[in-house]
Amino acid sequence: MKNILELSHVSYLYSEKTPFEMQALHDVSVGFEEGCVTGIIGHTGSGKSTLVQMLNGLLRPSEGQVLLNGEDIWRKPKEITSVRYRVGLVMQYPEYQLFDETVRADIGFAPRNMGLSEKETEERVREAAEFVGLSESLLDKSPFDLSGGQKRRAAIAGVLAMRPEVLVLDEPAAGLDPRGRQEILGRLQEYRRERRASVIFVSHSMEDMAHYCDRLLVLNHGEVLMQGTVSEIFCDAEKIRSAGLFVPQVATVADRLRRAGVPLPEGLCTVESVSRELLSLLGKGGNAQ
Amino acid sequence: MSFIEAEHVSFTYDDGTPESVPALRDMTLTIEEREYVAVLGHNGSGKSTFAKLLNLILLPTEGKLSVAGHTVSEEMSEDDVFAVRRQVGMVFQNPDNQMVATTVEEDVAFGPENLGIPHPELAERVSGALECVGMSAFARHAPHQLSGGQKQRVAIAGIIAMMPRCIVFDESTAMLDPVGRSEVMATMEKLNREQGITIIHITHYMEEAARANRIIVINDGELFMDGTPREVFSRAEELRSVGLELTQSGELIHELRLAGMADLPNDCLTEDECVEAILRAYRARNGGAS
């Protein structure tokens, strides 16, 4: 499958050539497949946030290249803004970045900057707000009068309004309750489907990653430790643990059952897949008990 | 007398104004000293408001609340307010917002120093607290050199150094990576077990709540459930109705039961229990073989 975004031998140093120089990424080469939901996991300080800020040109690699559709995004540095419209980045706790007088104006900020007409901007605002589940009646309120969950949605809508080909989010579900997490992450999958877009997001919840992603990238101390499908990654529990992470609880349950003689396939890591496999093994006898 | 006694406690933000928002309604419950309680509820359910009542950041707008033997009221003397706050420490969500000094040990000393603890004792408290959270080796480090989990443990040490009887953790694991989360969980459980400190842990992670001795579920400002983790997590549909879920092990068993495997127990909490229950069911269907 084609890579929509690719990092080729990317390194990044913060405060380069000062006594505070710190290498955040070291020779990272990784491809993000078009049309996939790709998750990025890694311990605090592993380089996740640095990496996502490379993807839309917010940070420029100290070494190496970032390729969007095969083209180096830094080939013409003056045109980097157009990359930022195509690769939409939602930062951590994006609700702290709401700033305008109304929710409507806030969501419309990017499309207006893209040079779209008022009519087109208004249409995009309505579409994005509806997509994240913000009702029309909230659009004329101040963003500061919204609840925490609503603010998060408004901030994400502000990026969706650009209709980016690639949507990148840094911990979009952090701090939300289980239902809020499901809603936001479910919407991301929906965006991918409806817009045939690619989605890349960071999370510390291995359970969410197993449930919502097709592929995973595991970072460890600024380097790529693993990349592959969710099942491939969570198969290797030992390697995951070596990076300071865990596999989802249900993957461990499946693994222990298999070791105890239950013939389950390898690589199961969601409640749905484990229960489906178990039912096909046991289910026929289930009602007979 | 219980450590915390709430009788028909309500709290309304901007009470008496047109913008008033009721956040907690008619809460009646008691929490004993040495308990380990998890608090669950959706965003905006009133969990944090509840936490803020416990160390008098907020005062109830209705009802009767007593904490550590003091009846809470607006007429309380300042001395009594501080006496309660000294007993009930709080650890918040964002570790970066809780660091006040330029080295770890100064940060831990900030609280007890403000309590007027004299010098030889102050140093003892600081080193004892750092040892307790496993951060002694970092005493001279700058807070910004620490990981998220380490910063939270320093924040906890700062509370321990004031020798409280109760610590409230308000989503203190929400911003941490998996290792950071397990470090903070291990620390709070050790404080409960070894020092008898009452722990109140507000969280969105069901796996964390399952480790407490008691779970309180708050929904739309009201007490919705109160019981052992086993009791609370056996009521799957009610939990779902208020936007919560089970542990992953619990979810798996629940799915299998819904699909007809009625012989599985409905109160599996841990990975071990889940594995054992499924193995039992599997062996029963395969004539005890394997």
ipTM of the complex: 0.87
Three-point CA angle A238, A242, A244, nearest 5°: 120
Q: Is A280 on the interface with B (CB under 8 A)?
A: no
| Fold that domain B33-60+69-245 belongs to in CATH | Rossmann fold (3.40.50)
Looking at beta carbons, which residues of chain B come within 8 Å of A95? none
Contacts of A53 (CB under 8 A, 6+ apart): A59, A89
Q: Taking CA atoms, what residue in A is nearest to B207?
A: A249
CATH number for position A150? 3.40.50.300
Mean pLDDT of A176-203: 94
Q: What is the pLDDT of residue A283?
A: 63
| Chain A, window 47-86: residues with a beta carbon less than 8 angstroms from a chain B beta carbon | none
- How much of chain B exceeds pLDDT 90, in percent? 79
**Of residues A251, A255, A278, A266, the one with CA closest to residue B249:** A251
CA atoms of A265 and A278, how far apart (whole Å): 10
Mean pLDDT of A84-104: 94
Contact A262 B42 (CB under 8 A): no
| Radius of gyration of the CA atoms of chain A, in A | 21
Contact B147 A44 (CB under 8 A): yes
Strands B214-219 and B222-227, by their bridges, are antiparallel
Instruction: Evaluate if residue B44 carries a pLDDT over 70.
Output: yes
Instruction: Evaluate if residue B72 carries a pLDDT over 60.
Output: yes
Q: Is B142 on the interface with A (CB under 8 A)?
A: no
Q: Which pLDDT band, with edges at 50, 70 and 90, does B267 fall under? A: confident
Q: Which pLDDT band, with edges at 50, 70 and 90, does A21 fall under? A: confident
Mean pLDDT of A217-221: 97
Nearest C-alpha of chain A: how many angstroms from B264?
10
Q: Which pLDDT band, with edges at 50, 70 and 90, does A1 fall under? A: confident
A261 within some domain: no
Question: Where is average pLDDT lowest: A173-182, A223-232, B105-114, B279-288?
Answer: B279-288
Contact A250 B42 (CB under 8 A): no
Which of A44, A175, A250 is the closest to B248 by Cβ? A250
Instruction: Evaluate if residue B290 carries a pLDDT over 70.
Output: no
Contact A249 B178 (CB under 8 A): no
Q: What is the pLDDT of residue A210?
A: 97
For A107, the domain range is 3-247
CB-based burial label for B282 (10 Å; 0-12, 13-18, 19+) = buried
Q: Which pLDDT band, with edges at 50, 70 and 90, does A282 fall under? A: confident
Mean pLDDT over the full length of chain B: 93
Tell me the pLDDT tens digit for each residue of A241-261. 999 999 999 999 999 999 999
Mean pLDDT of B175-192: 92
φ and ψ of B45, to 5 deg: -80, -20
Contact B252 A283 (CB under 8 A): no
Q: Is A40 on the interface with B (CB under 8 A)?
A: no
Contact A275 B284 (CB under 8 A): no
Tell me the pLDDT tens digit for each residue of B205-227. 999 999 999 999 999 999 999 99
Q: Which pLDDT band, with edges at 50, 70 and 90, does B96 fall under? A: confident
Chain A contact probe: residue of B219, B248, B251 with most A CBs at under 10 A: B248
Q: Is B264 on the interface with A (CB under 8 A)?
A: no
Contact A177 B43 (CB under 8 A): yes
Q: What is the pLDDT of residue A284?
A: 55
Q: What is the pLDDT of residue B242?
A: 95
Alpha helices (runs of H) in chain A, residue ranges in sequence order? 48-55, 80-86, 103-113, 118-132, 148-160, 178-195, 206-212, 230-235, 237-242, 249-259, 271-286
Looking at beta carbons, which residues of chain A come within 8 Å of B149? 44
A282 within some domain: no
Q: How many other C-beta atoms can be found within 10 angstroms of the C-beta atom of residue B97? A: 10
Q: Is B44 on the interface with A (CB under 8 A)?
A: yes
Q: Is B256 on the interface with A (CB under 8 A)?
A: yes
Q: Is B94 on the interface with A (CB under 8 A)?
A: no
Contact A148 B93 (CB under 8 A): no
A65 within some domain: yes
Mean pLDDT of A268-284: 89
Q: What is the pLDDT of residue A265?
A: 95
- The ranges assigned to domains in chain B are 33-60+69-245, 247-290
- How much of chain B exceeds pLDDT 70, in percent? 99
Q: What is the pLDDT of residue A288?
A: 41
Instruction: Evaluate if residue B155 carries a pLDDT over 70.
Output: yes
Give the count of domains, chain A: 1
Tell me the pLDDT tens digit for each residue of B31-43. 999 999 999 999 8
Q: Which pLDDT band, with edges at 50, 70 and 90, does A286 fall under? A: very low
Mean pLDDT of A176-201: 94
Looking at beta carbons, which residues of chain A come within 8 Å of B42? 177-180
Instruction: Evaluate if residue A289 carries a pLDDT over 50.
Output: no
